Chains A and B, each alone.
Chain A
Amino acid sequence: NAGVMQNPRHLVRRRGQEARLRCSPMKGHSHVYWYRQLPEEGLKFMVYLQKENIIDESGMPKERFSAEFPKEGPSILRIQQVVRGDSAAYFCASSPVGRRQGETQYFGPGTRLLVL
């Protein structure tokens, strides 16, 4: 049973470029979460999605960041016009059910974004 898949594992972008991070949830899981971990800091929630719906985007920066989870295909976290401060590890997690308290989330290997 494959776990949460993320690609690419490492991504290098120059300032002003776009970064696209992909996440495929575990089989049977329909809820996806994105978290960011800045260097030497803790994990911070960004966004929670179900298929074709954004449920909670309270952790997303107001500008340049967007996320989607289409009916077909992986979830995408998109960062436009990247800046050096976007350099971080971006983790995706999935769960089978999102609304129930305590539903366990399983993490993917992460994408390490480096902005030059």
Chain B
Amino acid sequence: ETGVTQSPTHLIKTRGQQVTLRCSSQSGHNTVSWYQQALGQGPQFIFQYYREEENGRGNFPPRFSGLQFPNYSSELNVNALELDDSALYLCASSLAGTDNNEKLFFGSGTQLSVL
């Protein structure tokens, strides 16, 4: 158990809808990264939040947005859902500013299905 929790665990939406996924980071961690993992593929970096600001973004369109709150929990929002957005969404926390800032602690993910 990593201490990173994600909700919900499973979600079914229809094309065009909006979705919000939530993540509580491990106690003491100040950085949250979000990843999208399609079936049989590696996790693709969506973006990272550090001290409540976006600190880097992967190759995802603006309809993927996020927030980080003062308690370091985070949300991933996806607007205008498309069929290809169906995937496992993973949240990972880490502690920036230390020698181990690259070590990620993952939640179990949210499985999103877009119909």
Do A and B come from the same complex?
Answer: no
Measured CB to CB, the residues of A under 8 A from B are none
Q: Which residues of B contact A (CB under 8 A)?
A: none
